[in-house]
């Protein structure tokens, strides 16, 4: 029993220190900010929070390169320490909205209409 709890504690420690999990948390907070500022229904808010976390974790360190290009920052800003959380947060805020716009345009091009 003691070996199992030690193993579980080690796994949880490693998971908490994982870069992907940290980026996902920042992305989820960004998705929550998006949901709170646009006053959406709970189901849509949960979708934005989940998408924000998944997009930020999936993009990883690429998110800082995308943000730097978008904001016109110098390439030296990409490896800046501490910027990964900020980039993940911004990706979490704007990522779900960007995906929804792209999907809406694809549906309109196909003549599918909205999903209201």
For the full predicted model, state whether its pTM sits above 0.75: no
- Residue written as tokens 């979708």? 47
Decide: 25 and 53 in contact? Cβ < 8 Å.
yes
Q: At what angle do helices 42-59 and 62-71 cross, to 10 degrees?
A: 100
Per-residue pLDDT of the chain (116 residues; tens, 9 = 90+): 456 777 777 777 776 667 777 888 888 988 999 888 888 899 999 998 999 898 888 887 777 777 778 778 777 777 765 567 778 888 888 888 888 889 889 989 888 655 55
**Structure tokens given for 51:** 């998408």
């Amino acid at each position: 029993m003691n070996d199992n709890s030690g193993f579980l504690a080690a796994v949880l420690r490693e998971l908490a220190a994982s870069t992907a999990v940290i980026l996902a948390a920042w992305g989820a907070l960004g998705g929550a900010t998006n949901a709170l500022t646009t006053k959406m229904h709970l189901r849509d808010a949960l979708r934005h929070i989940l998408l924000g976390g998944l997009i930020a974790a999936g993009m990883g360190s690429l998110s800082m390169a995308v943000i730097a290009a978008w904001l016109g920052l110098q390439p030296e800003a990409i490896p800046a320490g501490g910027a990964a959380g900020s980039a993940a947060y911004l990706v979490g805020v704007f990522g779900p909205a960007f995906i929804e716009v792209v999907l809406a345009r694809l549906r309109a091009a196909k003549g599918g209409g909205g999903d209201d």
